Amino acid sequence: MMRSTCTACWAVADRDETTMKTPGPGFDSLGQDLRRLLGSAKVKTDPEDLLAYSSDATRYYAQGNPQAVVLAGCVDDVCQVLKYANRQEIPLTPRGAGSGLSGGSTPIRGGIVLDMKRMNKILEINKGNMTARAESGVVLANFHRAVEKERLFYPPDPQSMDVCTLGGNVACRAGGPRGVKYGTTPNYVLGLEAVLPDGSVINTGGISVKQANGYNLTQILTGSEGTLAVITKVNLRLLTLPPGRKTAVIVCDSPQIAAELVSRIIYEGAVPAVLEYLSVGAIWLMNSYCPIPVALDGQAYLLLELDGSPALIEEDLEKIKGLSSQMKAREVKVIADEKQAAGIWKARKNLSPLILRIYQKSISEDVTVPRDKIAQMVKAVSEIGAQLGITTGMSGHAGDGNIHPGVQIMEVTPEAERKAEEAIKLIIEKGLELGGTVSGEHGIGLHKSAYLIRELGRDQIELMKRIKYAFDPRGILNPGKIWPDEQS
C-alpha cells in the first residue's frame, strides 16, 4: 500500500490491526476499535456529534444515525479506517462539508461517517503549468482566493462555495453559475488520489492537460458520490484570471421572453460568464437583502455577468442589448456601481435561505433541459403549481439549461407534503420528456434515485452496479445511493 507523507499520523496508523476486536451487534465496540486505531481525538461517538452528521443539507428528506464519526487528518487515516470497515463489512459514508442537496452524504445504513474537512492543504499552485494540487477537504472559496492571488482562475462556483469542499465538488460533479461559459467541475479535474475500500491508494490521471492512457478512471470517480472510493487529493486545471467583469440585468415582460432570450444570446455567441434566470418573486426576495434593490418593473429577469477584456465586454454587451431589443425585452440595465453588483450577486447566492424566511420548507430541484426547451419547462412548472394548488418558483443557471424549480410549503402538513412530492415527480418527468436530465449539478444521492432508471434504463443501471462491484465488492461505501434499494 502506498504511504502518505503525513508523518504525524504514522504513530497511531501503524499499530497492529490484529488487535482489533470484531464489533458486536449494533457496532457496540466500533468507537472503541476506531479510537484504538486512530486515537481518541479523531473519533466522535457522542450523540450530539452523531446528530450533526445524520444528513446533508436535505435534512427534510432523510436522516441516518451513524455509530461513529472519523475526522481524517491524512491519507493514512483514510486507509486504516477503510481497511477496518471493509474487513468488518461496516458501512462507511464519506463526507465533505455536508452542503449537498441530494442526500448523498446521509448515512442511511449507519456505520461510520468519514469527515474529510481536516485534509485541507493546498499543496501546489503551478503557474507555469496552470495547474494546482490540493487535498480534498480544501474549502472552494479558499481555493479561489489562493489561485486568484497568482492571477489564475478556477471557474466552478457552486452557491455553497463558502463551505463546500473540493472533494465533495468532484464527487458530485458540482456546477455553478459560471458553467454556461466555462463548464463545470469535471472539465477541470486532471487527476485524483483516491483510497479504495480495501485501503489501497490509487493515483488516476496526472497533471497533463491531455491524457489518452486507457480507461478514464479519473472521470469514473468524478461524480461517483463516494460509492467507489474516497477522494483524498485532486489535480485541477486552471485558467488565466479575466481582467474585467460587468453585471447587467435584463428585464422581461414574461417568463417566456426571458427563457427564449437565453437560447438566442448563446446562439449569437455573446456568451456571458453567468446567465441566471430569476422570477419576479426571486427578485423581490433578493431585494430584501440588497443594499440597492432592483426595480420590480418586469415579470422575469436575466441576471448576467460578462467577463474578459474591457473591449470584449463592451462588444458582447452591445450585442446582448440588440438581441434583447429584437426579442422585446423591456430593458437592459447595466449595473455600473460595483457595490450594487456585488450586493445583487450575494443576494442571488443567498436566495435559498431568503426563501426560508417566509416558507417552512423549500425543495430545490436541478432539472436540466436543452436550452431551447427552457421556455417550455418554465411554463410547465407554473402549470404544475397551479394544478396542485402549491407554490412553485423558478431560478437557475439558465445559460446551460440547468434550472432550479422550487416547491415551497408555507406550513408543513401531510397534505402539503403529498402535494410537494407529486409536484417534484411531475417536474422531473416533464424535464425528461423535454430531453433533459434529472440532475445537472446536485447529483443523485437519495433524492433522485427513484428517477434514474427512467432516464438511463435498466441496462445502464446494471452496468453501473458491475462497476460498483469491481471497486467495492463488499458494498461498504455509501450504500443505498444512486439507485434505490430495491434495485440493489
Q: Is the CB of residue 406 less than 8 Å from the CB of residue 428?
A: no
Backbone φ, ψ for residue 15 (5° rounding) = -65, 155
Average per-residue pLDDT in the chain?
A: 91
Joined together, the cell numbers standing for residue 215 give 480507461
pLDDT for residue 291:
84
Percent of the chain at pLDDT exceeding 90: 79
Q: Kindly tell me if the per-residue pLDDT of 5 is higher than 60.
A: no
Give tens-digit pLDDT for 424-433.
999 999 999 9
Rounded-to-integer distance, Cα 31 and Cα 107, Å: 16
pLDDT for residue 270:
93
pLDDT for residue 28:
58
Q: Kindly tell me if the per-residue pLDDT of 243 is higher than 60.
A: yes
**Mean pLDDT along residues 181-207:** 97
**Mean pLDDT along residues 318-325:** 97
Q: From residue 108, give the alpha-carbon distance in Å to each of 93, 269, 342, 445.
A: 9, 46, 39, 11
Q: What is the DSSP letter of 139?
A: B
Q: Kindly tell me if the per-residue pLDDT of 61 is higher than 80.
A: no
pLDDT for residue 20:
39
**Mean pLDDT along residues 122-133:** 98
Res. 396 pLDDT band, cuts 50 70 90: confident
Pairing of strands 92-95, 112-115: parallel
Greatest alpha-carbon pair distance for the chain in Å reads 75
**Mean pLDDT along residues 262-276:** 94
Q: Kindly tell me if the per-residue pLDDT of 9 is higher than 90.
A: no
Pairing of strands 131-135, 230-237: antiparallel
Rounded-to-integer distance, Cα 447 and Cα 358, Å: 24
pLDDT for residue 473:
98
Mapping DSSP onto H, E and C, the string for the chain reads CCCCCCHHHHHHHCCCHHHCCCCCHHHCCHHHHHHHHHCHHHEECCHHHHHHCCCCCCCCCCCCCCCEEEECCCHHHHHHHHHHHHHHCCCEEEECCCCCCCCCCCCCCCCEEEECCCCCCEEEEECCCCEEEEECCCEHHHHHHHHHHCCEECCCCCCCCCCCEHHHHHHHCCCCCCHHHHCCHHHHEEEEEEECCCCCEEEEECCCCCCCCCCCHHHHHCCCCCCCCEEEEEEEECEECCCEEEEEEEEECCHHHHHHHHHHHHHCCCCCCEEEEEEHHHHHHHHCCCCCCCCCCCCEEEEEEEEECHHHHHHHHHHHHHHHHHCCCCEEEEECCHHHHHHHHHHHHCHHHHHCCCCCEEEECCCECCHHHHHHHHHHHHHHHHHHCCEEEEEEEHHHCEEEEEEEECCCCHHHHHHHHHHHHHHHHHHHHCCCECCCCCCCCCCCHHHHHHHHCHHHHHHHHHHHHHHCCCCCECCCCCCCHHHC
Q: Kindly tell me if the per-residue pLDDT of 27 is higher than 90.
A: no
Backbone φ, ψ for residue 14 (5° rounding) = -90, 5
pLDDT for residue 486:
55
Res. 402 pLDDT band, cuts 50 70 90: confident
pLDDT for residue 104:
93
Rounded-to-integer distance, Cα 297 and Cα 299, Å: 7
DSSP string, 114-132: EE-TT---EEEEETTTTEE
Give tens-digit pLDDT for 14-23.
333 333 334 4
For the chain, how are helix, strand and coil distributed in percent, rounded to 5? 40, 20, 40
Give this prediction's pTM. Answer: 0.91
Q: Kindly tell me if the per-residue pLDDT of 103 is higher than 50.
A: yes
Q: Kindly tell me if the per-residue pLDDT of 440 is higher than 90.
A: no
Q: Is the CB of residue 225 less than 8 Å from the CB of residue 268?
A: no
**Mean pLDDT along residues 138-161:** 97
**Mean pLDDT along residues 256-285:** 93
pLDDT for residue 352:
85
The domains located in the chain, with CATH, are 7-115 (3.30.43.10), 122-240 (3.30.465.10), 244-352 (3.30.70.2190), 359-433 (3.30.70.2740)
The residue among 89, 111, 108 whose CA lies nearest residue 26 is 111
Side-chain half-sphere CA neighbours of 317 within 13 A: 23
